Amino acid sequence: MNARRQGGEGRGQGRGRRYSPGYSPGRGNNRFKSNRSQHENSREDFKFAPHTASKPQKHTFDTIKDHIVQVVQKTFENGHDVFLSLKEMQKVDLTTDKPERQISVDRDDVTREIEQAGFDIEYQEDYKRYKDRIELLEKNLYKAYSLIFTNYCSKIMQSRVEALENFTDEIKNDPIALLNAIKTLMHDPIRARYPFASLTDAQVRILNSKQAEQESLLDYVKRMKQLRDVLKSQLGENFLDYFVESTKEYKDETDDDKKYALKEAAFEKWFAYLLIWQSNNSRYRSLKQGLISQFQ
């Protein structure tokens, strides 16, 4: 009877197991699935995509680019050169590292011949490593293009990049040209259809873009620089020349080099003013008031 009771208790415990408050069977698995789903959604959102009113971008161009650069640095074989190329948005110049063949200047013929043979062996090895480095950079650039276009561009962005007139000749298989095109297209989805709309949009965006309440200063500056670069791609940096020529400072200046310097610095001065003026008012009110008081 004790055996039956014990057996019954065992079966009862198996069928009617008590759980701690707040616990339910399978909850851990659901949590795991939820976390995995959130991770996949986050990864899906971490893509270059054109900005639209219905679906604003969740990450800036620089944020996604910095992530890609880190992935390249960590996963590419000897990826330092391609890492620097993508980070600086300019292919590294390896010609400065091209080895030079040393020439022995020893006066003794035998010694000079032996020393020169050693120099030649070193040069051949160094030159081989140099050529291998060049080939690896080209290989990694091609690989980086595939990574960016396939893994980090939305379907819409892919189609818009491919629709560009210079896609086949200048962009395809060049990750730096691809990134430059993406930077513009993220804020310029209508350029191909109507250039003046694109021009207007670039100006409106940078003039109306203000620092959000919870936006960090670093994120705000990055976002504004991205808008600045888009505007520069549309208007260049010299569109303020006429404005500068009309200022008293320019008219009073007699040195041509200093006049030229005033024009060269105008765009960045204007951008610096925009950064301050459109920063969060509750945080930087005193800075803005000080700036205004200097010109009253």
Q: Are 244 and 263 in contact (CB under 8 A)?
A: yes
- Name which of 262, 273, 283, 148 is nearest 211 in CA terms: 283
| CB within 8 Å of 103: residues ≥ 6 apart | 116, 119
**Tens digit of pLDDT at every position of the chain (296 positions):** 454 444 444 444 445 555 445 444 554 445 444 444 443 444 456 789 876 555 556 678 888 999 999 999 999 988 999 999 999 999 999 999 999 999 999 999 999 999 999 999 999 999 999 999 999 999 999 999 999 999 999 998 999 899 888 999 999 999 999 999 998 888 665 554 566 777 787 788 888 888 888 888 888 888 888 788 878 877 888 889 999 999 999 999 999 999 999 999 999 999 988 888 888 888 777 777 776 666 54
Evaluate if pTM is beyond 0.85.
no
In eight-state DSSP terms, residue 209 is -
What are the E-state strand segments in the chain?
none
Q: Are 266 and 243 in contact (CB under 8 A)?
A: yes
Alpha carbon distance 143, 138 (integer Å): 9
